[in-house]
C-alpha cells in the first residue's frame, strides 16, 4: 500500500519523507488555508520534497474552468495530480486532463457507481471518503470493498485512494481490503507505530540495560 500524507504542512511532509513513509501528498484549499500560504507557492515546495504524486485541487466548479485551472496546476511540477470533484463537470475535466496525459485524482466519492464513472473517465486515482461515511452511520469500508470488486471485475487501472482516514484502524482495514493508496494526516501515520506491549517491552529492556550497566559506546 502506498502512503500519501494529507497536509500542506511542509515541515511535517519533510519529516515523514525522510523516514520513507511518504509516497505522495494530498492537499486541498482547506489545508492550504491552514498553512496560511499561497496555493501555488506551497504546492511547488511540496512537489520539490516528494517524488510521488502531489494532489492539487481546482477551485472552479464548471468543466471548462476546471480544465483551465488543472492545466495551470500541472505547470507547477511534473508530479502534480489534478484533484477534481466527483460531479459531471468534474468527470468532463478528468477526461480532458487525462487525455492531455496528466494525473487526475477524482475526489469526494461516496458510492461505487461514482467510482465506476471516474474509472471510465480515466481517473488516475479515486478518493472514497471513509470517515465522512462513518459520520453518517455508514461503513466506509463497505465502499472500499465494493470499489475493489468492481475495478477487479473489469480490470480498471484507476487506483483506490482511501481518504478521510481518521484512525489507524481505517489504515489497516483499507490495506486488508486492498486499497492501492491511503492518505492520512501526519498524526495518524505516526500513531501507527504505537502499541502498549511495545512500550512495556521497551521499558523492561531499558530497566535491564540500566541494571546491567550496559554501554555500547
Q: What is the grid cell recorded at 77?
A: 511540477
CB 140 within 8 A of CB 148: no
Packing angle, helices 88-99 and 63-73, rounded to 10: 40
Beta bridge partners of 170: none
Say whether 33 is catalytic.
Answer: no
C-alpha span between 131 and 140 (Å, rounded): 7
Annotated active-site residue in 2, 72, 83, 120: 83
C-alpha span between 57 and 55 (Å, rounded): 6
Tell me how many helices (H) and strands (E) the chain has. 11, 8
Q: Which residue has the cell 471548462?
A: 64
Enclosing H/E stretch for 80: strand 80-85
CB-based contacts of 35, cutoff 8 Å, min separation 6 = 8, 9, 10, 42
Catalytic residues: 83
Amino acid at each position: 500500500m502506498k502512503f500519501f500524507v494529507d497536509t500542506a504542512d511542509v515541515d511535517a511532509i519533510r519529516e515523514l519523507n525522510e523516514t520513507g513513509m511518504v509516497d505522495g501528498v494530498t492537499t486541498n484549499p482547506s489545508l492550504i488555508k491552514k498553512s496560511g500560504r499561497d496555493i501555488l507557492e506551497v504546492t511547488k515546495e511540496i512537489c520539490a520534497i516528494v517524488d510521488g504524486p502531489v494532489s492539487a485541487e481546482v477551485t472552479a466548479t464548471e468543466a471548462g474552468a476546471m480544465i483551465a485551472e488543472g492545466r495551470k496546476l500541472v505547470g507547477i511540477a511534473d508530479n502534480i495530480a489534478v484533484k477534481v470533484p466527483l460531479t459531471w463537470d468534474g468527470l468532463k475535466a478528468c477526461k480532458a486532463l487525462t487525455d492531455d496525459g496528466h494525473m487526475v485524482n477524482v475526489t469526494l466519492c461516496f458510492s461505487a457507481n461514482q467510482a465506476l464513472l471516474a474509472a471510465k473517465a480515466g481517473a488516475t486515482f479515486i478518493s472514497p471518503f471513509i470517515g465522512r461515511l462513518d459520520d453518517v452511520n455508514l461503513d466506509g469500508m463497505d465502499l472500499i470493498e465494493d470499489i475493489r470488486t468492481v475495478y477487479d471485475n473489469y480490470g480498471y487501472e484507476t487506483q483506490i485512494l482511501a481518504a478521510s482516514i481518521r484512525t489507524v484502524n481505517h489504515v489497516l482495514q483499507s490495506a486488508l481490503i486492498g486499497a492501492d493508496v491511503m492518505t492520512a494526516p501526519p498524526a495518524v501515520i505516526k500513531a501507527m507505530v504505537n502499541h502498549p506491549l511495545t512500550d512495556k517491552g521497551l521499558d523492561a529492556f531499558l530497566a535491564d540495560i540500566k541494571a546491567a550497566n550496559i554501554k555500547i559506546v
